[in-house]
């Protein structure tokens, strides 16, 4: 898997209802928000990553929620992204919505998946 450099051009937290008319199958009732990161590679390709979670009232999210393992896996994926790119060491106190506007301009890595560029996210256990 070849990784190449990319730069974040946009990062935002939004409601899932703003992204989809109807909640996609597989998302649980406790997944109400999405963190969408867009980046551009050096050769001009657009790369994107979307993370689903539930934003708490204080602007943070719970990395280890109650519920099915798929929900936990999606949260761990977001936490892995934040740790891998040096955005935070303490995910539980990271105010994602406040910090999203500081992410454009940060370097990330991209990979090709099915012919499209996507932001590289390490397997979450690699960060433990």
Comparing 70 with 49, which gets the higher pLDDT?
49
User: How would residue 126 be classed by pLDDT, with cut points 50, 70 and 90?
Assistant: very low
Comparing 42 with 65, which gets the higher pLDDT?
42
How far apart are the C-alpha atoms of 4 and 119, rounded to whole Å? 10
H/E segment holding residue 70: helix 69-84
Please write the tens of the pLDDT for every residue from 79-122. 999 999 999 999 989 999 999 999 999 999 999 988 889 999 98
Per-residue pLDDT for 13 more than 70?
Answer: yes
H/E segment holding residue 36: strand 33-41
47: left (phi over 0), alpha (psi -120 to 50) or beta: beta
Per-residue pLDDT for 124 more than 80?
Answer: no
User: How would residue 125 be classed by pLDDT, with cut points 50, 70 and 90?
Assistant: low
Structure tokens at 95: 């105010």
How far apart are the C-alpha atoms of 82 and 90, rounded to whole Å? 9
Q: Which domain holds residue 45?
A: 3-127
How far apart are the C-alpha atoms of 87 and 18, rounded to whole Å? 25
Give how many domains the chain has, as a whole number. 1
Structure tokens at 58: 């204080």
Structure tokens at 27: 């998302």
Alpha helices for 1-61 (secondary structure H): 16-19
Instruction: Tell me what pLDDT residue 128 has.
Output: 44
How far apart are the C-alpha atoms of 115 and 75, rounded to whole Å? 26
Q: What is the mean pLDDT of the chain?
A: 90
Per-residue pLDDT for 67 more than 80?
Answer: no
């Amino acid at each position: 898997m070849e990784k190449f450099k990319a730069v974040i051009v946009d990062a935002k937290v939004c409601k899932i209802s703003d992204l989809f008319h109807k909640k996609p199958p597989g998302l649980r009732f406790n997944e109400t928000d999405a963190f969408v990161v867009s980046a551009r590679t050096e050769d001009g390709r657009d790369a994107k990553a979307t993370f689903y979670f539930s934003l708490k009232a204080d602007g943070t999210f719970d990395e280890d929620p109650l519920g099915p393992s798929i929900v936990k896996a999606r949260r761990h994926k977001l936490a892995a992204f934040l740790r891998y790119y040096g955005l935070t060491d303490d995910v539980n106190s990271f105010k994602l919505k406040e910090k999203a506007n500081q992410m454009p301009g940060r370097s990330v890595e991209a990979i090709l998946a099915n012919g499209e560029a996507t932001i590289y996210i390490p397997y979450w256990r690699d960060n433990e």
